[in-house]
Structure formats: structure tokens, C-alpha cells
């Protein structure tokens, strides 16, 4: 089977000569949920933004189901099958749930009804609340709307930057559990997460990024018991809470 997303020796920089992502590699298999973990400033957001065409790639390449998508601009990647949910500003607060989803369909020049129906099936809560303004949703609901918006493009790979940021511990679990449902609908999921425990509870595999490179890659089960993760960036005082 072709690798769903292959990141190969990727280098990305905001300024020439100052790479933030420094030769990162990761192979994501179809149907997997893969978490990208790592300390603050490790380059996790920069890595997914570079893959999403939002930060210049200076070396290496990215393949999506075998097709080279390196440097394909962000607005074209949705048509290639890759959707990205940024950490912030991922919904329009002054539009309703339905309008957010309809706008996503309109941007794709796709049939509104055809695209919204499966997304509402996956997230019945959103359908029930479709006339509510996105700005009035709870943090967790808002994240689900952001995911739903991305799914309007019917991507093969969905990439998210910290979908649980700012959520209460209970909601973190709920949002991440929904990603399993997304995966069960045939979408490969790659997520950046700060919350190691919650991420390893839903992910199949994880990569720990340190200084722009993957330092540890393994199954979630392996990493749950890996003391190096706690030492790498959580500090020993919270290490006990990781496993």
C-alpha cells in the first residue's frame, strides 16, 4: 500500500538560512492516526505548516499517496486531498455553523448538499445546532466545526495543529475521540498535540520532534511507557502523569 503522507528530510525556514524544521522525516500509513509531539518551539507547527504549503520548504520533499506535493500552495492542496486545520482562526465566528460549512463547499465549487450531508452524519450535534453562530460555540464544539469544515473538502489526509489547545481536560478527550470517528470514515489523521497522554490514547503511532527533527518514533503503546518522552520535555515532576 502506498504511504498516505511521506515527509522526507524536510527543511523549512521563515528566513533564508535559518531552518526551523531541519531534516524531519515521517511516513504515515493510510488509515493511521499519527501524533506529532515535542517541546514548545520544537518546530511542530512549522512542520505541519510547511507540509500544508504555508511555510517555505528549503529542502526535502512531501509525498501525498505517492504524489509529490512539495511547494504546492495551500489553496491547491485541498484539491489534492490534504486538508489542514490551523490552531487558531479556523472558523468564522460571525457565521453560523451551516454558513461555515456552506462557505467551505462554495470555495471548493462543490455541491453544497452533497458535501454537507456526510459531515452532518458524522457530527449530528453540528446539524442540530446549525443555525448557531460559530462564535457562540464552546471551545470543543468550535474545534469540531473546524474539523467538519476541513472534511467538506473530502480529504484523504487531515492534518491538525493542536486541536485540543485551550480546552478543558474532559473536552480534550472528546475532541480527540472524534478524530477516531474521522479515521473510521477512511481519513488518515496527523495531529500536533501538546497533551501527550490524550494524544497517545487516540493515536496509533507518534513522533517526538526535537529541534526540527524526529527524535523518537514508535507505536503509541511503546511511547506510553517510554521514559525518554517525559524527560525530553515535560520535566521529571510531571513525568509520572504521562504513562
Ligand X SMILES: Nc1ncnc2c1ncn2[C@@H]1O[C@H](COP(=O)(O)OP(=O)(O)OP(=O)(O)O)[C@@H](O)[C@H]1O
Residues found near ligand X in the complex (CB under 6 A): 14, 20, 38, 40-46, 194
Nearer to Mg ion, 6 or 45 (CB): 45
DSSP state for residue 136 in the 8-state scheme: G
Q: How far is the CB of 237 from ligand X (least distance, A)?
A: 19
41: partner contacted, choices ligand X, Mg ion, none (Cβ within 5-8 A by kind): ligand X
Q: Kindly indicate which of the ranges 40-48, 62-70, 180-188, 227-235 contains the residues binding Mg ion, using the contact rule CB under 5 A.
A: 40-48
With contact defined as beta carbons under 8 Å apart, do 156 and 82 qualify?
Answer: yes
With contact defined as beta carbons under 8 Å apart, do 158 and 5 qualify?
Answer: no
Nearer to ligand X, 46 or 141 (CB): 46
Residues 163 and 191: their CA atoms lie apart, in Å, by 8
Nearer to ligand X, 25 or 29 (CB): 25
46: partner contacted, choices Mg ion, ligand X, none (Cβ within 5-8 A by kind): ligand X
Among positions 44-63, residues that touch Mg ion (CB under 5 A) are 45
The dihedral of CA 21, 23, 24, 30: what is its sign?
A: positive
The residue whose Cβ lies closest to Mg ion is 45
Alpha helices for the chain (secondary structure H): 44-51, 74-80, 97-107, 112-122, 124-128, 139-151, 169-184, 196-202, 220-224, 227-229, 236-239
* Residue 164 found at the interface with Mg ion (CB under 5 A): no
Please tell me whether residue 212 adopts helix, strand or coil conformation: coil
Nearer to ligand X, 74 or 132 (CB): 74
Residues that bind Mg ion (CB under 5 A): 45
Amino acid at each position: 500500500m502506498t504511504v498516505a503522507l511521506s515527509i522526507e528530510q524536510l527543511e523549512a525556514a521563515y528566513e533564508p538560512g535559518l531552518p526551523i524544521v531541519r531534516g524531519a522525516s515521517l511516513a504515515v500509513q493510510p488509515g493511521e492516526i499519527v501524533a506529532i509531539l515535542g517541546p514548545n518551539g520544537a518546530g511542530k507547527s512549522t512542520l505541519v505548516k510547511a507540509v500544508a504549503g504555508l511555510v517555505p520548504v528549503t529542502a526535502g520533499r512531501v509525498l501525498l499517496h505517492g504524489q509529490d506535493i512539495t511547494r504546492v500552495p495551500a489553496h491547491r492542496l485541498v484539491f489534492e486531498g490534504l486538508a489542514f486545520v490551523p490552531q487558531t482562526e479556523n472558523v468564522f465566528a460571525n457565521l453560523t455553523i451551516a454558513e461555515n460549512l456552506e462557505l467551505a463547499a462554495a470555495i471548493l465549487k462543490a455541491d453544497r448538499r452533497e458535501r454537507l450531508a456526510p459531515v452532518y452524519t458524522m457530527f449530528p450535534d453540528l446539524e442540530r445546532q446549525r443555525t448557531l453562530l460559530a462564535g457562540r460555540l464552546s471551545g470543543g464544539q468550535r474545534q469540531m466545526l473546524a474539523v467538519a469544515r476541513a472534511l467538506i473538502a473530502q480529504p484523504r489526509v487531515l492534518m491538525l495543529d493542536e486541536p485540543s489547545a485551550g480546552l478543558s481536560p474532559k473536552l480534550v478527550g472528546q475532541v480527540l475521540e472524534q478524530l477516531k470517528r474521522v479515521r473510521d470514515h477512511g481519513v488518515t489523521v496527523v495531529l500536533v498535540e501538546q497533551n501527550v497522554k490524550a494524544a497517545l490514547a487516540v493515536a496509533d503511532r507518534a513522533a517526538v520532534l526535537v529541534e526540527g527533527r524526529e527524535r523518537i518514533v514508535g507505536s503509541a503503546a511503546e511511547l506510553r511507557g517510554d521514559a525518554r518522552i517525559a524527560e525530553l520535555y515535560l520535566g521529571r515532576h510531571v513525568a509520572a502523569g504521562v504513562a
